[in-house]
Amino acid sequence: MSAVELSRITFRYPAADHDVLREVSLTAEARQVTWLFGPLGAGASTLLLVAAGLAPGLTGGTLAGEVKVWGHRISTREGRAALQGRVAYVTATPHLQLSGMASSVFDEVAFAPANLGWPRERIEAAVPGALARLGISHLADRAPDRLSGGELQRVVLAAMLVLEPVAWFLDEPTSALDGEGRALVRALLAAEAARGAAVLLATEDAELGLAVAHEMVLLTEGSAVARGAPDDLLGTELMWAIGAGSTGVAELARLAALRGPVRHPRLRPPYPLTFEAAVERWR
Amino acid sequence: MNPRLLALIPTCVALNVVLGRIVSELGLPIFLDTVGTVTATALAGPWVGIITGLVGQGLQALTSGQLMWLAFAPLQVLIALIAGAAAARRGYRGAASAVLWGALCGLAGGLVSAVISYAVFKGATTGGITALTALFRWLGLGLAAAVSVGSVAADILDKALTFAFAGAVLRALPVRLASRFPVALRASGRE
Amino acid sequence: MIAPRPSRVAAAHPFTPLVASLAVIALAFLLPAPAGPLALAGALVLTAFLVGDPRALLPSALLAVPFWALLFLLHALLGDGARVAVGPLRLSEAGTALALTQGARLTAIIVASVLTVRAFRPPRFVDAALVAGWPWPAAYLTAATLNAIPRFTQRAVQVQEAMRSRGLRVRGSLVTRARALVPLAVPLMLGALHDVDERTFALATRQVRAEGVTRRTPLRPPADRWGDRAIRWGACLAVAAAAAWRLWG
């Protein structure tokens, strides 16, 4: 059994005239980071909402197919109850993911545990650990609305981490972050996968995906068109055929191959994905 | 309670406060401090509007240090009920119908607030309206009449603009977003 | 908005000043005029000193003065009936008494409100409400709304500055200013409604609607001492006594 199983998912928002997802089937394994990649509007955000059990419940719309997270059908009430407080969902806009009522970072991270009715002693034991893992222990007493975007995103991640989720669904989690913050997220996702969680990550940031993902799924126009290891897929022409693009190094290598003055077998796809790989190829 | 409503209600109360402040900064002779309540009602129905209005009234009375404004709570319920009736009858489908519903709400609301101003505040409420009341009083009207004329005149103008404003926002809201609120499409005549 | 200040009120259970303030409102209208309201206003001024926050009287005075001025204008100057000469003015006798009564009522309510709000801390209030068994949405809406207002004010200022820097006129005739309102307010409202959607997902993920949970855990439940309970019961009894006296006395 895979930790996350989507079978033949078709989804349409209310009052919309087309399906955003069309018969998508995909799986994400425990202990792995699965990366959703595709051009803007390919349906990755909606797919995460469906997988996290937020759509159609909170958006309306029609869903066909079956979504299972750790064996529970998350689109049903029983399924959501079984997974209550064990699913993390993170987006690119940290200020909109705050509780809206906490007056300190500590209370912000304690929000979900308190809502779940954890005893106070358990909350007081768990929150400092989550803050420490994101390197924000020093912010515990600060007001969330006085923090920078990067600090806020760490608070939001800590607020999820404290629940020890069995599945993470992340939609562009690093777009509010600087280099240091991105490295932290990379390490966090790797550690969460190692702990045993299933991680489903949608990001346009090919360097991040390449660095952290075990598997990638290519999405275009609401359909999953390919699946494989990022190393194998990311350098192929398919990436440009669907308009997704690739890492900066691969983009350059492709430009050199298509527009450059030289023709050479080593310039052909698959293109090198990193600087090291490019150097290796010409050695 | 649905998380969508938990997110919507504080937002709409904040819109009441903030638009009220923008209007007073621009020095306009209206309040627009119920536009969030009317919008909440048009998106999610009269109950949500009533809660928005009451939460807003309660917290504004508290944070302004003037708990006597709690006396105007029945007015919030009335506004939400009329805004809800307008939503059920597609009242926000165009500017003209929104203005008419708003004027109706202003007339009813003005009378109710006149009763409250007269009974609880003896005519002295906020500066602008009291100035109007004083003017009518000076012109020879009795206190009850002066309070009603002053507050109804001000309220009709204010609520007509408030409803027109809420309607404009509702119609500008993308269908994809509007369709996630229970009554928004019907209220704006798109269903 | 009135800035928070530490005082003996802030140390009390959050419900105590609220209940006491509501009792002051009731008493202001139940006690016999004009002596009752005047005595009540005096008692509240004294209370400000007793609880260690006499500075609350300054914002209270600023809030009360316009009411006194308007009441004096409406009732003492423009009132009906017999006149008395006070210096160069000829005031209505009944009107002056009414202005005094009403002014004292509002003053008492304002002083009580200002003392309460200067001591009001939303997180303590939420925890108190949870312990008291309030429904969670009511507690959440109270705290989240207080949180949202400054956030939106800040955003309104940003929108306003952006519009100004693009040459939007916010001064001028009534029509010019009314026109300026639309580009200021519409983007603010549309943006706010757009954000509601994302916040909805976040709140659901953060378990605002957890099933099978009997009560959200209060993080720091405030102490409810016997003094607090005595004040609250005393306030309720005073209102009941005043109401009974008014009805049958």
Nearest to A97 by CA among A36, A152, A46: A152
% of chain C beyond a pLDDT of 70: 98
| CB pair distance less than 8 Å for C156 and B18 | yes
Retrieve residue A43's tokens.
């349906």
**Residue B118: alpha-carbon gap to chain centroid:** 20
The backbone torsions φ and ψ at residue C48, rounded to the nearest 5 degrees and listed phi first, read: -55, -40
Chain B environment of A14 (Cβ under 8 Å): 179-180
- DSSP class of C52: T
Retrieve residue A139's tokens.
């912010």
Retrieve residue A193's tokens.
């996968």
Neighbours of A125 (CB within 10 A): 11
CA distance to partner chain B, nearest, from residue A60 (Å): 6
Tell which C residues from 28 to 87 touch B, by Cβ distance under 8 Å. 29, 59-60, 63, 66-67, 70-71, 73-75, 78
Supply the pTM of this predicted model: 0.92
Q: What is the pLDDT of residues A138-151, one digit of tens each?
A: 999 999 988 998 89
A60 touches chain B (CB under 8 A): yes
Distances (CA, A) of A143 to A75, A103, C130: 35, 5, 22
What is the torsional sign of CA C14, C218, C198, A206?
positive
The low-confidence residues of chain B, meaning pLDDT below 70, are 126-131
C204 touches chain A (CB under 8 A): yes
CA distance to partner chain A, nearest, from residue B115 (Å): 36
Q: A83, A115, A157, A166: which to substitute to probe chain C, counting the most C Cβ within 10 Å?
A: A115
CA-nearest residue of chain A to B3?
Answer: A58
pLDDT at C128: 95
Chain A environment of C147 (Cβ under 8 Å): 100-101, 103, 145
The backbone torsions φ and ψ at residue A112, rounded to the nearest 5 degrees and listed phi first, read: -65, -45
- DSSP class of C2: P
Neighbours of C69 (CB within 10 A): 15
Alpha helices in B122-142 (DSSP H): 127-138
A242 touches chain C (CB under 8 A): no
pLDDT at A167: 97
A58 touches chain B (CB under 8 A): yes
Chain C environment of B175 (Cβ under 8 Å): none
Alpha helices in A44-135 (DSSP H): 44-51, 77-82, 105-115, 120-133
Chain A environment of C210 (Cβ under 8 Å): 84-85, 115-117
A66 falls in which pLDDT band (50, 70, 90)?
A: very high
Tell which A residues from 17 to 76 touch C, by Cβ distance under 8 Å. 49, 52, 54, 57-58
* Residue of higher predicted confidence among A269 and C25: C25
Residue A31 and residue A48: Cα distance in Å, rounded? 18
**Per-position DSSP letters for B76-111, written without gaps between them:** HHHHHHHHHHHHHTTTTSSHHHHHHHHHHHHHHHHH
Retrieve residue A221's tokens.
């126009």
How do strand A215-220 and strand A198-202 relate by DSSP bridges? unpaired
How do strand A4-12 and strand A62-69 relate by DSSP bridges? antiparallel
Q: A46, A49, A59: which to substitute to probe chain B, counting the most B Cβ within 10 Å?
A: A59
Is B58:C25 a contact under the CB 8 Å cutoff? no
The mean per-residue pLDDT over the stretch A106-120 comes to: 96
Is B123:B133 a contact under the CB 8 Å cutoff? yes
For residue B138, give the amino acid letter: W
Whether A228 has a pLDDT exceeding 90, the answer reads: yes
What is the torsional sign of CA A224, A226, A227, A233?
negative
Phi-psi group of A61: left, alpha or beta (phi > 0 → left; psi -120 to 50 → alpha; rest → beta): left
Neighbours of C35 (CB within 10 A): 11
A18 touches chain B (CB under 8 A): no
Whether A256 has a pLDDT exceeding 80, the answer reads: yes
Chain A environment of B176 (Cβ under 8 Å): 13, 15-16
Q: What is the C-alpha radius of gyration for chain B, rounded to an integer number of angstroms?
A: 16
Is A91:A171 a contact under the CB 8 Å cutoff? yes
The mean per-residue pLDDT over the stretch A116-138 comes to: 96
**Length of chain A in residues, anyone?**
283
Is B83:B46 a contact under the CB 8 Å cutoff? yes
Q: B176, B185, B186: which to substitute to probe chain A, counting the most A Cβ within 10 Å?
A: B176
Q: What is the pLDDT of residues C83-130, one digit of tens each?
A: 888 888 888 888 999 999 999 999 999 999 999 999 999 899 999 999
Q: Which residues of C144-166 are buried (b: 16+ CB within 10 A; e: fewer)?
A: bbbbbbebbbebbeebbeebeee
CA-nearest residue of chain C to A108?
Answer: C206
The backbone torsions φ and ψ at residue B13, rounded to the nearest 5 degrees and listed phi first, read: -65, -45
| CB pair distance less than 8 Å for C193 and B1 | no
A54 touches chain B (CB under 8 A): no
pLDDT at B118: 84
- Torsion angle in degrees (nearest 10) through CA of C156, C159, C163, C169: 0
CA distance to partner chain B, nearest, from residue A54 (Å): 11
Distances (CA, A) of C212 to A115, A189, A219: 11, 30, 37
pLDDT at A262: 81
* Residue of higher predicted confidence among A157 and C176: A157
Is A9:A23 a contact under the CB 8 Å cutoff? yes
Task: Closest CB to A15: pick one of B3, B7, B185.
Answer: B185
Chain A environment of C202 (Cβ under 8 Å): 89, 91, 96-99
pLDDT at B126: 64
pLDDT at C162: 78
Residue B56 and residue B13: Cα distance in Å, rounded? 5
Residue C41 and residue C36: Cα distance in Å, rounded? 9
CA distance to partner chain C, nearest, from residue A113 (Å): 8
pLDDT at A272: 92
Q: Mean pLDDT score of chain A, rounded to an integer?
A: 93
- DSSP class of B136: H
**Per-position DSSP letters for A118-152, written without gaps between them:** --HHHHHHHHHHHHHHTT-GGGTTS-GGGS-HHHH
Whether A14 has a pLDDT exceeding 70, the answer reads: yes
Chain C environment of B64 (Cβ under 8 Å): 1-2, 63, 113, 117
CA-nearest residue of chain B to C144?
Answer: B10
CA-nearest residue of chain B to A97?
Answer: B7
Chain C environment of B17 (Cβ under 8 Å): 149, 152-153
| CB pair distance less than 8 Å for A15 and B10 | no
| Chains with at least 3 CB pairs less than 8 angstroms from chain C | A, B
Cα distance between the two ends of chain B: 26
One digit per residue, the tens of pLDDT, for chain C of length 249 reads 577 777 888 899 999 999 999 999 999 999 998 899 999 999 999 999 999 999 999 999 999 998 998 888 888 888 888 888 888 888 888 899 999 999 999 999 999 999 999 999 989 999 999 999 999 999 999 999 999 988 888 888 887 787 777 776 666 777 777 777 888 888 889 999 999 989 999 999 999 988 888 889 999 999 999 999 999 999 999 999 999 999 987
Q: A101, A122, A147, A157: which to substitute to probe chain C, counting the most C Cβ within 10 Å?
A: A101
Residue B87 and residue B102: Cα distance in Å, rounded? 12
| CB pair distance less than 8 Å for A115 and C148 | no
| CB pair distance less than 8 Å for C74 and B124 | yes
Q: Could you give the 3-state DSSP secondary structure of residue B121? A: helix
